[in-house]
Amino acid sequence: MQIFRTKSVEQTLAETGESGRKLKRTLNAWDMAVMGVAVAVGAGIFSVGAQAAAFHAGPAVILSFVIAGVVCGAAVMCYAEFASMIPVAGSAYTFTYTTVGEIIAWIIGWDLILEMLMASSVISKYWGVYLNDLMHLVGIEFNTNMVIGSFHIDIAPVIIVTFFTVLLVLGTKLSARVDGALTILKIGIVFFVIIVGFFYVKASNYQPFIPPSQPAAASSNGDVSGVFGEPLWQWVTGMAPSIYGIPGILSGAALVFFAFIGFDVVATASEEAKDPHRTVPRGIFIGMCLVTVMYILVAVVTTGMVSYKDLAKADSPSLATGFELVGATWAAKIISFGIVVGLTTVVMVLLLGLTRIIFAMSRDGLLPRSLSTTGSHGTPARIQIMGGIVVAIVAACFNVDVLSDMVNIGTLSAFTLVAISIPIMRRKRPDLHRSFKMPGNPWIPIFIAIACLWLMLNLTVLTWVRFVVWLAIGFVLYFGYSYRHSRLGRDELLEGGGSLPPSQGRA
């Protein structure tokens, strides 16, 4: 079985012009940058930093953000090089298919489907939760939750998912314009909150900057639950679970890495960018810089307003907690509004990313080819509608938890493989035009891969268990369907003079 067969870059690019399966190129560099900011700046900017400070790193969470930002930024450069060579939908899935083979590409694609499906469902669910909170804060007594018999249904996720599904079906450019307006609004809210927060900062709250390491159970928020709650590397080495100190900074970096996800989603839209060889790298870099600056500033304000020890006393610490502790309760309304706007844009980009991954895998035959047809608006309407329905049902009818670690491990695994693929592709195809090149090849890409792997090892044992189970399901599907229906395998069989089953002979 040739499970490591690879697609040529030329074949990959040629398939973007396939009749009935062609996406329209309408996005510019600003659209791509806004898309990255839109998905990376959501509710997390108001909560992830506070939680990492309270239960992982203290004021040194600032270093956690720097570490995560550097790793993500370096990984993004790898994405930029590939996007400048292969501006095709699918992001890491497509990149790995041309370098390390079909089975690895399937693993990445399968994992990204889960991450984006779960992330979009969870974000849609929490959009409804925060919308209800905002209405309560401003004095509007209305609840989007409905009870039908024994079922509890939240109609808010259905509304937001339906709205963006319709926009995405009508055209990616139209969706990007709406998304851009909302993103500019939420950036303004974030910087307003940061500026106000600086007036409450006290230098004494940064002391000690790196709190001494201590057992996790001593001041945990209750999330650590036995073996499954331990970082994998601590469990493997037998090291006692701890928080703060250097281990806390590293585990904090693994947690706040969730704040930087989204730029791989930007790469999934490469096939819809105008002049992608320049547009995509520029858009990714601009967006990455904006996000990194905003998150570090929020971390500085959060840890400067109140002591990390006070944050640790709260059940779910956030930036709003900091304002409440200094008596600025009015900020809760602004932050709640910012969260609702922030989550709105995240939903759109995740729905886009989910469908583009499925579209790319379907066009390659690893999923049913009938899914990858495009409509009159140049969008994969069938996948978009089906994906929207699934996300809306999951978000409206099920109690979903924030699986940030699951999203992290999927993103980090993709980053790892893309980084490794850079030196492989340089050696394999040095003749390809690259409008942007990752500096320091091969050592910096290898270092990036090791850094991403290290962050993965700082995720919990339970996260790894879930990850392995999902991959096992994916292997069953690959060997049961995808391997036999792969277009690459079909082409190789035809070239060798073989015959195809009827199901593979059809387009």
- Which helix (DSSP H) or strand (DSSP E) does residue 267 occupy? helix 263-268
Confidence check: pLDDT of 224 > 60:
no
- Model confidence over 59-89: pLDDT tens digits? 988 898 888 888 878 888 888 888 888 888 7
Confidence check: pLDDT of 49 > 70:
yes
- Model confidence over 146-177: pLDDT tens digits? 777 667 777 888 899 999 899 888 877 777 78
Amino acid 336: pLDDT? 79
Assigned CATH class of 22-493: mainly alpha
Residue 464: which pLDDT band, with cuts at 50, 70 and 90? confident
Confidence check: pLDDT of 402 > 50:
no
Residue % of the chain over a pLDDT of 90: 9
Rounded mean pLDDT of 406-423?
Answer: 81
Cα–Cα nearest to 100, from 3, 11, 12: 3
Confidence check: pLDDT of 494 > 60:
no
Residue 140, classified by CB atoms within 10 Å of its CB into exposed (0-12), middle (13-18) or buried (19+), is exposed
Q: Tell me the C-alpha distance between 411 and 295, whole Å.
A: 19
Amino acid 334: pLDDT? 83
Instruction: Check: CB of residue 488 under 8 Å from CB of residue 7.
Output: yes
Confidence check: pLDDT of 222 > 60:
no
Rounded mean pLDDT of 15-19?
Answer: 80
Rounded mean pLDDT of 211-223?
Answer: 60
Q: Is 419 helix (H, G, I), strand (E, B) or coil?
A: helix
Amino acid 232: pLDDT? 72
Q: Tell me the C-alpha distance between 336 and 317, whole Å.
A: 14
Range picked from 128-137, 188-197, 215-224 for highest mean pLDDT: 188-197
Rg (Cα) of the chain, in Å, rounded?
Answer: 23
- Is 0.75 surpassed by the pTM of this model? yes
Amino acid 479: pLDDT? 94
Rounded mean pLDDT of 17-31?
Answer: 80
Cα–chain-centroid distance for residue 369?
26
Amino acid 219: pLDDT? 41
Confidence check: pLDDT of 273 > 90:
no
Helices (H) and strands (E) in the chain, counts: 22, 4
Residue 244: which pLDDT band, with cuts at 50, 70 and 90? confident
Rounded mean pLDDT of 284-297?
Answer: 85
**Which residues in 439-475 are b (16+ Cβ under 10 Å) and which e?**
eebeebbeebbebbebbbbbbbbbbbebbeebbeebe
The vertex-84 CA angle with 80 and 87, nearest 5°, equals 105
**Between the CA of residue 410 and those of 49, 191, 258, 455, what are the distances in Å?**
21, 30, 11, 12
- Whose tokens are 């390390």? That residue is 100
- Between 380 and 235, the more confident residue is 380
Confidence check: pLDDT of 353 > 70:
yes
Lowest mean pLDDT among 38-47, 218-227, 270-279, 355-364: 218-227
**Between the CA of residue 378 and those of 19, 24, 430, what are the distances in Å?**
11, 5, 33
Instruction: Check: CB of residue 267 under 8 Å from CB of residue 284.
Output: yes
Confidence check: pLDDT of 491 > 70:
no
Q: Tell me the C-alpha distance between 489 and 498, whole Å.
A: 11
Q: Tell me the C-alpha distance between 459 and 256, whole Å.
A: 11
Amino acid 500: pLDDT? 47
- Between 466 and 408, the more confident residue is 466
Amino acid 495: pLDDT? 55
**Domain segments of the chain as ranges:** 22-493
Range picked from 5-14, 167-176, 315-324 for highest mean pLDDT: 5-14
Q: What is the 3-state secondary structure (H, E, C) of 204-226?
A: HHHCCCCCCCEEHHHCCCCCCCH
**Between the CA of residue 473 and those of 62, 463, 469, 480, 504, what are the distances in Å?**
38, 16, 6, 11, 23
The pair of three-digit structure tokens given for residue 329, joined into one six-digit string? 């309760």
Residue 492: which pLDDT band, with cuts at 50, 70 and 90? low
Amino acid 443: pLDDT? 92
Cα–chain-centroid distance for residue 114?
11
Average pLDDT, the chain: 80
Structure letter (DSSP) for residue 148 = E
